[in-house]
Amino acid sequence: MTPARIMEGSEAIAEAVALARPQVIAAYPITPQTHIVESLARRVAEGELESQFLTVESEHSGASAVLGASATGVRTFTATSSQGLLYMAEVVFNIAGMRLPIVMTVANRALSGPLSIWNDHQDSMTLRDAGWLQLFAQTAQEAHDLQLVAYRVAEDPSVSLPVMLCVDGFVLTHAFEAVEPITRDQADLLLPPFAPWYALDPSEPVSMGTYAEPAVYTEARYAVHRAMLDSRPVLARALDDLAATTGRRYDPWLDTYRVEDADVVLVAMGTAAQTARLVVDELRGGGDAAGLVAIRTFRPFPAQEIRDALQTVRRVVVLDRAVSLGADGIVAGEVRAALGDRSTSVVCVIGGLGGRDVARETLRRAFEATEDGWIDLKKELVIR
Amino acid sequence: MATDVTQGNVIVANATGCLEVTTTAYPGSAWRVPWVHSVFGNAAAVATGVRAALRAKGVNDVPVIAQAGDGGTADIGLQALSGMLERGDDVLFIAYDNEGYMNTGVQRSGLTPTDASTMTTPTGALSEGNPHLKKDLLSIVLAHRPAYAATATPAFHKDLQHKMQRALSIQGPRFLHVLVPCPLGWRFESRMTMEVARLAVQSNLFPLAEWRDGVLEKVKRIGAPIPVEDYLTAQGRFTHLFDGERGEIERGFLQQIADENARRLGIASFGR
């Protein structure tokens, strides 16, 4: 165990990125991702980190530059938020299709309009189908640890897929916490040097990003899907190794808290899950059998683990911090599908949008919800 | 030609377009050099990343080429191109300008010339074709002070080869603007491709020149200029300009553009 340091979430993330020694970093400024890349730029400027830091003119080019660099066989990093993620969306899909093990941190933020710089999960959720693994961290420590694990999983030859580490903007990125940093020796144990399948190299020419006729497109897409499913044991093994090396153990799929005998279980992702633990204890103290499931890995989606965790629970409330407008909360929809025709009642609560605080009272009300709805909605402000 | 000049020691980043779809139908590829395609508008940024990775690996002797059509250069790819030029990335960007979105069936681009008839700027009772100016791409590029910039066309093959060699011998951001007539989109017989390209140069609508660090260095002298009309009549996309009073005014306008090109480069214009 290394001594803990009080670190800003962004700094904890940047420190883990630096431990991975990406050779090319490209990023465009957007709140609240900025502190992560500023920290990396400073480390490069001070000579602490040897990396090509590219100040690109847009997120579209940032994603494109790390695509080009990764295709040329080096480890890369980028980070973004919100509009930035959507601006690079076509490249994000492309990166997965090309099986490039790029790691990107998304400081989760609401989408415009109206313009909001504050936290929710709509940005990452909107790109959930892109072919990237999506990990949601609950604390700065976890973000620090998963950041390194992300490289290990992405670059594993049986996976070779990009990984998106999702962290709550401001709530995680700008908050100060005690973090036990991974040491250089531990990092080198956990993350071997990047050895790509192939790379752009004149001595062994390959064509990457080719055109597919209908006769082969389906198979190319299936291969990406298959790789995503095959990442499951790789992620589990990487987290086992992390535990063996650092003593910090994370379930690869989800955290369960006081679920065994629970009457009602809240499903949440990200920092809200930490607050929800406190609320579970409070409710238990008052005689209510409450529990919590915190989803850590949203892609690949842990349907079986969710079924197992909720098998004896009668009522489930899903806190969705993003919404598929006109349909449903996105996490709730997937939890419902995972549970199938079980008699469990699944209630979708949409809340914590655009930075509205997910306070203990919010979550207490969420636990009480018996029908789908938008929590804490100020109906008098809704213009139709 | 670029792959010949470099003898295969090159990495190519390609934008989406007919060059890409006709040469790389999965699982095959016509490319004998390392080649990467991502999306339409990002060839310059992908090339930036390739160059950065090579730098990180300590590889300094492999040229990086980005290539795109006029859309992937001057419209959807302009921002990425500007970023690449402004950062001073050591990349040669080659624009193959066929003056329209030909891969998608002949629609107008920012480099389509004034009055050209395309599927999205058709001629009609109220239309003489494309109402806009051909974007002055070279001036935009030159404002970034690239290490090298040049215009070329396959009609002057030796000149093109010379510029390709020169571009590859220089370090820093470089730009080659190649006019490539499109028989389908410009409506002429394929065998006339070189002739049409030659007329574009001779009429001063596409003069051939070289710039170093944003400063004009050399203009190719090609003998007495010809009237723009000789170029226009060689193609179907301007036929409507030879039918009525309005067309005559438009022809005069296109001649003015050619004359202005000549004036700016200090070369002779038609009839002067």
What average pLDDT does range B125-143 have in this prediction? 96
Nearest beta carbon to residue B80 from set A64, A66, A70: A64
Measure B238 CA to nearest chain A CA, in Å.
34
- Given a contact cutoff of 8 angstroms between Cβ atoms, the answer to whether B228 and B202 are in contact is no
Nearest beta carbon to residue B82 from set A23, A57, A70: A57
Measure A202 CA to nearest chain B CA, in Å.
5
Q: What confidence score (pLDDT) does residue A212 get?
A: 92
Give, in order, the Cα–Cα distances in Å from B29 to each of A67, A98, A206, A212, B263: 20, 15, 9, 11, 45
Task: Please judge whether B47 and A205 are an interchain contact, meaning their C-beta atoms are less than 8 angstroms apart.
Answer: no
Q: Which stretch of A52-56, A202-206, B15-19 has the lowest confidence by average pLDDT?
A: B15-19
Q: What confidence score (pLDDT) does residue A383 get?
A: 85
Instruction: Please state, in angstroms and rounded to a whole number, the distance separating the CA atoms of residues A307 and A303.
Output: 6
Is cis: bond before A252, omega within 30 of 0? Answer: no
With 90 as the cut, is the pLDDT of residue A384 above it?
Answer: no
The band of B23, judged by pLDDT with boundaries at 50, 70 and 90, is confident
What average pLDDT does range B101-125 have in this prediction? 96
Residues of A with CB under 8 A from a CB of B: 23-24, 26, 51-52, 54-58, 60-62, 64-74, 76, 90-91, 94, 98, 200-202, 204-213, 216, 220
Instruction: Please state, in angstroms and rounded to a whole number, the distance separating the CA atoms of residues A283 and A291.
Output: 9
Q: Does the model's ipTM exceed the 0.90 cut?
A: yes
Residue A68 with chain B: CB contacts under 8 Å: 13, 36, 38, 45-53
Minimal Cα distance from A61: which residue of B?
Answer: B45
The more confident residue out of A133 and B8 is: A133
The band of B187, judged by pLDDT with boundaries at 50, 70 and 90, is very high
Q: What confidence score (pLDDT) does residue B250 get?
A: 95
Nearest beta carbon to residue A74 from set B25, B37, B56: B56
Minimal Cα distance from B18: which residue of A?
Answer: A211
A210 φ, ψ to 5°?
Answer: -85, 180
Residue B48 with chain A: CB contacts under 8 Å: 26, 54, 56, 61, 64-65, 68
Task: Please judge whether B52 and A216 are an interchain contact, meaning their C-beta atoms are less than 8 angstroms apart.
Answer: no
Q: Which amino acid is at B103?
A: N
B258-271 pLDDT per residue, tens: 999 999 999 988 87
Residue B235 tokens, joined: 């193609």
Enter the pTM of the model. Answer: 0.96
Residue B82 with chain A: CB contacts under 8 Å: 57
Instruction: Give me the domains of chain A, ranges plus CATH numbers.
Output: 5-246 (3.40.50.970), 254-381 (3.40.50.920)
The band of A2, judged by pLDDT with boundaries at 50, 70 and 90, is confident
Instruction: Please state, in angstroms and rounded to a whole number, the distance separating the CA atoms of residues B175 and B138.
Output: 9
Q: Which residues pair with A214 in a beta bridge?
A: none
A99-118 pLDDT per residue, tens: 999 999 999 999 999 999 99
Residue A51 with chain B: CB contacts under 8 Å: 56
Task: Please judge whether A71 and B46 are an interchain contact, meaning their C-beta atoms are less than 8 angstroms apart.
Answer: yes
For B21, the enclosing helix (H) or strand (E) is helix B18-23
Instruction: Please state, in angstroms and rounded to a whole number, the distance separating the CA atoms of residues A228 and A164.
Output: 13
Task: Please judge whether B80 and A210 are an interchain contact, meaning their C-beta atoms are less than 8 angstroms apart.
Answer: no
The more confident residue out of B105 and A2 is: B105
The band of B272, judged by pLDDT with boundaries at 50, 70 and 90, is low
Q: What confidence score (pLDDT) does residue B271 get?
A: 72
Sign of torsion over alpha carbons A223, A229, A233, A236 = positive
Task: Please judge whether B56 and A206 are an interchain contact, meaning their C-beta atoms are less than 8 angstroms apart.
Answer: no
For A316, the enclosing helix (H) or strand (E) is strand A315-320
For chain A, the distance separating the N- and C-terminal CA atoms, rounded to the nearest angstrom, is 56
> Which of A53, A55, A99, A211 is the best mutation test for B, with the most CBs of B within 10 A?
A211
DSSP-derived letter for residue B237 is: G
What average pLDDT does range A29-46 have in this prediction? 98
Q: Is A275 helix (H, G, I), strand (E, B) or coil?
A: helix
The band of A26, judged by pLDDT with boundaries at 50, 70 and 90, is very high
The band of B6, judged by pLDDT with boundaries at 50, 70 and 90, is confident
Measure A29 CA to nearest chain B CA, in Å.
15
Task: Please judge whether A57 and B79 are an interchain contact, meaning their C-beta atoms are less than 8 angstroms apart.
Answer: yes
Q: Is A80 helix (H, G, I), strand (E, B) or coil?
A: strand
- CATH architecture of the domain with range B2-265: 3-Layer(aba) Sandwich (3.40)
B43-87 pLDDT per residue, tens: 999 999 999 999 999 999 999 999 999 999 999 999 999 999 999
DSSP-derived letter for residue A302 is: -
Measure B180 CA to nearest chain A CA, in Å.
23
CB of B62 less than 8 A from some CB of A: yes
A124-178 pLDDT per residue, tens: 999 999 999 999 999 999 999 999 999 999 999 999 999 999 999 999 999 999 9
Residue A66 with chain B: CB contacts under 8 Å: 49
CB of B9 less than 8 A from some CB of A: yes
Could you tell me which residues come within 8 angstroms of residue B14 by beta carbon, excluding any fewer than 6 positions away? B20, B35, B36, B37, B43, B66, B67, B68
- Given a contact cutoff of 8 angstroms between Cβ atoms, the answer to whether A298 and A322 are in contact is no
Q: Is B101 helix (H, G, I), strand (E, B) or coil?
A: strand
Instruction: Please state, in angstroms and rounded to a whole number, the distance separating the CA atoms of residues B203 and B231.
Output: 7
The band of A363, judged by pLDDT with boundaries at 50, 70 and 90, is very high
Of B30, B27, B34, B28, residue with least CA distance to B11 = B34
The band of B109, judged by pLDDT with boundaries at 50, 70 and 90, is very high
A268-305 pLDDT per residue, tens: 999 999 999 999 999 999 999 999 999 999 999 999 99
Q: Which residues pair with A179 in a beta bridge?
A: A5
- Given a contact cutoff of 8 angstroms between Cβ atoms, the answer to whether A329 and A320 are in contact is yes
Task: Please judge whether B38 and A98 are an interchain contact, meaning their C-beta atoms are less than 8 angstroms apart.
Answer: yes
CB atoms within 10 A of CB B132: 13
Task: Please judge whether B49 and A26 are an interchain contact, meaning their C-beta atoms are less than 8 angstroms apart.
Answer: yes
What average pLDDT does range B182-200 have in this prediction? 97
In the 3-class helix/strand/coil scheme, how is A173-236 assigned residue by residue? CCCEEEECCCCHHHHHHHCCCCCCCCCCCCCCCCEECCECCHHHHHHHHHHHHHHHHHHHHHHH
Could you tell me which residues come within 8 angstroms of residue A191 by beta carbon, excluding any fewer than 6 positions away? A19, A20, A148, A151, A152
Q: Is A328 helix (H, G, I), strand (E, B) or coil?
A: strand
Of B2, B25, B4, B26, residue with least CA distance to B13 = B2
Task: Please judge whether A61 and B45 are an interchain contact, meaning their C-beta atoms are less than 8 angstroms apart.
Answer: yes
Residue B20 with chain A: CB contacts under 8 Å: 211
Q: Which residues pair with A265 in a beta bridge?
A: A291, A316
Sign of torsion over alpha carbons B84, B85, B91, B96 = positive
B158: buried, middle or exposed (CB in 10 Å: 19+, 13-18, 0-12)? exposed
The band of A371, judged by pLDDT with boundaries at 50, 70 and 90, is very high
Tell me the DSSP string of A124-180: HHHTTTSS-EEEE-SSHHHHHHHHHHHHHHHHSTTT---EEEEEETTTTTT-EEEE-
Q: What confidence score (pLDDT) does residue B222 get?
A: 81
Q: What confidence score (pLDDT) does residue A1 get?
A: 63
